[in-house]
Amino acid sequence: MGKHASQMGAESPRTLIVGLGLTGLSCARYLQERNVPVVIIDSRSNPPGLPELQEEMFGVSVVTGGFDPRVFATAERLVVSPGVSILEPQIQAASKRGVEVLGDIELFAREVAAPVVAITGSNGKSTVTTLLGEMARHAGKETAVGGNIGLPALDLLSSKNELYILELSSFQLETTYSLKPKVAVVLNVSADHLDRYDGIEGYSETKSTLYKGAEIRVFNQDDSKVMAMCGQPQAGDLFFTLQEPANSNVFGVRLQEGDMWLCQGQQALLPASELQLPGQHNLANALAALAMGAALELPMPAMLETLCSFHGLPHRTQFIAELAGVRWYNDSKATNVGACIAALEGMKGSVNSMVLIAGGESKSADFSELAEVVKQTVRAVVLIGRDAALIEEALGDAVPVTRAVDMDAAVIYANELAKSGDCVLLSPACASFDMFRGFEHRGDCFIEAVQRLMA
């Protein structure tokens, strides 16, 4: 426990920050700047962010190594980090006592003065958030981008910002009540985080809360779960689809002059071949960004110029190298089954076949959907990680499966299995924490292993 407890004014409600890390540190910083006394509790003995907290905020009390009921008993408000489930018994008990439970996005929503774009979904959030941010900046708007990627939302607050573009996770939405986005989108819904939700329905319902209070709603016409959130259509609703767009409220694709074009209704905007991002899933991401940019009234030329120059983010279907006619792609950010399927289907048609490297922590996922897509698109699968056996069982005899002890071995096996004209795709469909510090570390290890292969 921290040695230097804050001096708490009797009139101040006692705020307990549950979970440190990047978000908890951001909340502590924000509240201390406003002279709100806080105590921080974390179930980990040495949580990330602790050295920074002790350096920045000498005197803040920190309780580590468990959730002590006595600490929760005196709290009048809980600010819960997204990494901590609100189903934790101590949080549930506090909530039943009438203690307010909120998160960093709720604190942000209560203070923000400029328009906010809120983006969630199972896959593509970071790409779309970053892409729209680039579009807005290219259009000359002072734009802050962050939330679940980059800087936490509270660290972005500044009077100079004209626009905030936030990626939000379902965990952040659980503790957000007052956010009224200028534009909101749920990009897609596929099974994820089922270790924290009661089935995909509970997960989908949490995502849908983003649309409450939104001025302009953007929907994915190709996703039935997202379209079910639409309810009564509202004036100003916009849509995106990988089909032909029916009217000017819909951004889609159309075959024209022998090429696939991105369109708004009848208006052709840009040949798909000019996009720098590979795959059908990134075509959908581009259309989603265009729809949101249109909702913000960003000039179309600036948006299209950005699309032609945007190369995507690391660890998201990122081209690494070509060796003996085989192209290597790093999609380590695919931490769920839906993301892996999107990558496989996105690459289909651009290569002869694929060798897939997958595996890790399953998060209680169902891999049966993956088997059908693998059968159609993949030559062989190399599995790593704790739950490799679960994936192998789900794949059955769809394709040959090889197990590897680590990333280096997986890359060596994949190289032996791939043929000229193929690609090798790291798209794990799993979380990374069984073997790596995070998806970035996993992707970096893959890149290093490929580079060793080429040396």
What's the pLDDT band for 10 if we cut at 50, 70, 90?
Answer: very low
Q: What is the CATH number of the domain that holds 223?
A: 3.40.1190.10
CB 137 within 8 A of CB 76: no
Q: Per residue in 77-90, pLDDT tens?
A: 999 999 999 999 99
Asked if 148 is an active-site residue, the reply is yes
The CATH number of the domain holding residue 30 is: 3.40.50.720
Distance, first Cα to last Cα, the chain:
50
Q: 287 and 407 share a domain? A: no
Q: For residue 106, give the H/E element and its range.
A: helix 104-111
Are 428 and 357 in contact by the 8 Å Cβ rule? The answer is yes
Other residues' Cβ atoms within 10 Å of the Cβ of residue 379: 18
Q: Does residue 341 belong to any structural domain of this protein?
A: yes
| Separation of alpha carbons 386 and 390, rounded Å | 9
Calculate the average pLDDT of the chain. Answer: 93
Total domains present in the chain: 3
pLDDT band at 192 (very low <50, low <70, confident <90, very high): low
Tell me the residue range of the domain where 370 lies.
Answer: 318-454
Do both 97 and 115 map to the same domain?
A: no
Exactly one of 125, 207, 333, 363 is catalytic; name it. 125
Q: 20 with 50: CB under 8 angstroms? A: yes
Place of tokens 């074009």: 261
> Looking at this protein, which amino acid is placed at residue 376?
Q
Angle ∠(120,333,107) on CA atoms, nearest 5: 35
The enclosing H or E element of 253 equals strand 250-256
Assess whether 245 and 337 both reside in one domain.
no
For residues 299 and 346, state if they share a domain: no
Mean pLDDT of 335-359: 91
Q: For residue 94, is pLDDT > 70?
A: yes
Residue 17 phi, psi (nearest 5): -90, 120
* DSSP reduced 3-state for 402: strand
Report pLDDT digits (tens) over 276-292.
888 888 999 999 999 99
Task: Write down the pTM of the prediction.
Answer: 0.84
Instruction: Please say if 212 is a catalytic residue.
Output: no
Tokens 């599995």, located at residue? 383
**216 and 323 in one domain?**
no
Residues 98 and 194 in one domain: no
Phi, psi angles (nearest 5°) of residue 88 = -55, 135
Tokens of residue 81, six digits: 């980090």
Verify that 169 and 259 share a domain, yes or no: yes
The amino acid occupying position 442 is: R
Query: Active site residue: 138, 141, 193, 281, which one?
Result: 193
Is residue 86 domain-resident? yes
With tokens 């998201």, the residue in question is 316
Strand partners, 19: none
pLDDT the model gives residue 349: 77
Q: In this structure, is residue 4 part of a structural domain?
A: no
| 367 & 424 share domain | yes
- Which of 148, 220, 282, 330 is flagged as catalytic? 148
User: Which residue, of 102, 122, 137, is where some domain finishes?
Assistant: 102
Same domain as 173, residue 152: yes
Asked whether residue 400 falls in the same domain as residue 291, the answer is no
Instruction: Classify residue 431: in a domain, yes or no.
Output: yes
